[in-house]
Amino acid sequence: MIKNTLKRHIKTAIILASLWFQANTGIAQNLYIKLQTGYQLSLNPLSGQDVVSNVNSTFTTSTYTSNNIGLGTGFNFGAALGYDISENLGTELGLGYLLGQKNEVTSESTNLNANNTFYNNTTNIYTRMFFMNPSMVFKAGTAKLKPYARFGLLLGIGSINSEVNSESSTNGSSSKEYNKYKINGGLAWGANGAFGLVQQVNEHVSIYAEVAIQTINYRPKKSEMIEAELNGNDILNTYSTRDKITEYTDKYTVVSSNNTPNPNKASQSARVNFPLSNVLFQIGVKFSMGK
């Protein structure tokens, strides 16, 4: 009796193990990994201005030059894990990193009436952000060359950074100051749609190219000065918390009085939207796990 019972349990275990192996083998055969890189261009850059001013004893001349600040422009590096539900339908979970291009804005002023005072300010603004991109993939075409469309959501965590270099001189005596700010907190979010072609190289490897439109909006929670130097010396600790940190909020109250604001509390400002929408061109390699 015991021997027959043991045989039945062993047989059941073998059957279950076989079914588990077959099921997971089927899943593995439909999995793939993608590695990709590309470059993206902002679709809705911010408007900036470069300014040059000259003051002498007779008149003041100021020249303004428009300057687009593309926060969504830069190199994109990413990877994705995908699963083929059927021959024409799949799903992907992508991860990407935006190495934003630096956008330069300048302001220059020369005042011959005030001891030959010269002032120059150069600000570089750029984005650093990680994105997660769950999406659905729709495929068609032959076995070797397949067009596809991909649609999904975008969620991002990162920051917008600005580096400010200021130089001033009066009668030949000059000074230089450097400040770095990080704007972060909250999620960047949006959606994307991509169209591309996959060329199969062999049974496990394919190459592909695609164009994607990404609509992304970012509402950060705070701005913080994280570096400050004067003539090469660190002066960050000379700034108060109020001078270094600004918290962005949907609603805040200002009470006017003769009291000095608390220097140990962050200042407040209205929340702003930073547009990161872009068109992305990228190429990549796809590794299929199936036979």
Name the band, by pLDDT with cuts 50, 70 and 90, for residue 257: confident
Instruction: Using alpha carbons, select from 153, 190, 149 the residue that is nearest to residue 277.
Output: 190
Name the band, by pLDDT with cuts 50, 70 and 90, for residue 262: confident
Residue-averaged pLDDT of the chain: 87
pLDDT for position 23:
46
> In this structure, which amino acid lies at residue 39?
Y
pLDDT for position 196:
96
pLDDT in tens, 19-67: 444 444 455 578 999 999 999 999 999 888 888 888 876 778 888 888 8
Pick the range with the lowest mean pLDDT from 184-193, 257-266, 278-287. Answer: 257-266
**How many independent structural domains does the chain possess?**
1
Position 236 in a domain: no
Cα–Cα distance for residue pair 189/109, rounded to 1 Å = 39
Position 178 in a domain: yes
205-218 and 222-230: which strand pairing? Answer: unpaired
**Strand ranges (E), the chain:** 31-42, 46-55, 60-69, 74-84, 89-100, 103-111, 117-139, 145-170, 173-184, 188-200, 205-218, 222-230, 233-234, 245-249, 267-270, 274-275, 278-288
Position 242 in a domain: no
Position 233 in a domain: no
**Is pLDDT of 211 > 90?**
yes
Question: Span 121-135, mean pLDDT?
Answer: 96
Residue by residue, what is the 3-state secondary structure of 38-76? EEEEECCCEEEEEEEEEECCCCEEEEEEEEEECCCCEEE
Dihedral, CA of residue 8, residue 9, residue 11 and residue 12, to nearest 10? 110
How many other C-beta atoms are found inside a 10 Å radius of the C-beta of residue 82? Answer: 20
Beta bridge pairs of residue 207: 199, 285
Residue 41 tokens, joined = 């261009």
Higher local confidence (pLDDT), 108 or 192: 192
> In this structure, which amino acid lies at residue 235?
I
Does pTM top 0.85 for this prediction? no
Domain that holds residue 204: 32-220+272-288
Name the band, by pLDDT with cuts 50, 70 and 90, for residue 89: very high
Say if residues 286 and 205 touch (Cβ distance below 8 Å): yes
Cα–Cα distance for residue pair 83/86, rounded to 1 Å = 9
Position 140 in a domain: yes
Position 238 in a domain: no
Cα–Cα distance for residue pair 58/35, rounded to 1 Å = 62
Question: Span 281-288, mean pLDDT?
Answer: 95
Name the band, by pLDDT with cuts 50, 70 and 90, for residue 228: very high
Residue 237 tokens, joined = 């600790």
Residue by residue, what is the 3-state secondary structure of 135-154? EEEEECCCCCEEEEEEEEEE
Position 263 in a domain: no
Position 22 in a domain: no
- 65 burial (CB, 10 Å; 0-12 / 13-18 / 19+) is exposed
Instruction: For residue 169, give the CATH number of its domain.
Output: 2.40.160.20
